[in-house]
């Protein structure tokens, strides 16, 4: 089933509202079955794999979150600068169970290369968990993207604007780290 850009925007807006409610109210996720959310999206014409994957991921994360770190807004996000003007930026997230050091850089699209963020991390934490990077608008706090970094305490990833679903060289963004309990069992 295909649907218009207007229907797509309406479904995205509705999904963002549900997501914000899921994140702010722990009781909400228990009181509304995921089937009801799926049915509402289907009624809006949003019955496609992209929506299903995004919804399942949101639902899973909301059920398994141990902690969400503070928000870090690197300098120059959303500002027009040339690719050579953005040096690597670093930040240390300090939590009660340890620290995670992040280094990031981003570049605008150039030729056939899409805009991207490169992200490396080194975690010194005392809990076993999966790490996720949450990108959000620092002014509106709308979540732009959530991407799994995995369970490795040291790593480096490269995320294109397509994977992120936003352009990191044009849009304001900030990052936080989500600590997800991998031991909880879910049925989605």
If asked whether residues 11 and 91 sit together in one domain, one would say: no
Query: Are 23 and 48 contacting, i.e. CB atoms less than 8 angstroms apart?
Result: no
The tokens describing 146, both together, are 């959530």
58 assigned to some structural domain = no
Report residue 141: phi and psi, to 5°.
65, 20
Residue 158 forms part of a structural domain: yes
Q: Give me the number of domains the chain comprises.
A: 2
What pLDDT score was predicted for residue 85? Answer: 64
Contact (CB, 8 A) for 136 and 106: no
CATH code of the domain covering residue 174: 2.60.40
Question: Is there a single domain that holds both residue 85 and residue 36?
Answer: no
- Residues 81 and 168 occupy one common structural domain: yes
Helix (H, G, I), strand (E, B) or coil at 142: coil
Q: Residue 21: which domain range?
A: 5-47
For 57-120, the DSSP string reads HHHHHHHHEEEE---B--TTTTS---GGG---EEEEEEETTEEEEEEEEEE--BTTBPPEEEEE
In a shared domain, residues 141 and 74: yes
- For residue 133, give the DSSP letter: E
Kindly report the average pLDDT of the chain as a whole number.
80
The order of strands in the sheet holding 65-68 is: 65-68, 174-180, 130-136, 143-150
The ranges of the chain with pLDDT < 50 are: 1-3, 185-188
pTM: 0.69
Give CA–CA dist 20/168, Å, rounded.
Answer: 22
């Amino acid at each position: 089933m295909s649907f218009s850009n207007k229907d797509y925007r309406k479904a995205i807006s509705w999904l963002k509202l549900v997501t914000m409610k899921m994140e702010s109210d722990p009781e909400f996720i228990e009181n509304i079955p995921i089937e009801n959310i799926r049915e509402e999206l289907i009624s809006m014409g949003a019955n496609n794999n992209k929506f299903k994957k995004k919804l399942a991921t949101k639902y899973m994360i909301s059920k398994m979150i141990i902690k969400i770190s503070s928000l870090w807004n690197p300098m120059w996000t959303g500002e027009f600068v040339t690719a050579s003007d953005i040096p690597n930026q670093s930040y240390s997230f300090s939590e009660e169970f340890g620290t995670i050091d992040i280094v990031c850089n981003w570049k605008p699209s150039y030729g056939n290369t899409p805009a991207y963020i490169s992200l490396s991390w080194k975690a010194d934490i005392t809990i076993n968990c999966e790490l996720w990077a949450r990108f959000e608008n620092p002014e509106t706090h709308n979540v732009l993207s959530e991407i799994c970094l995995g369970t490795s305490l040291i790593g480096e990833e490269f995320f294109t604007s397509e994977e992120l679903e936003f352009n990191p060289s044009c849009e304001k963004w900030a990052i936080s780290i989500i600590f997800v309990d991998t031991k909880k069992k879910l049925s989605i």
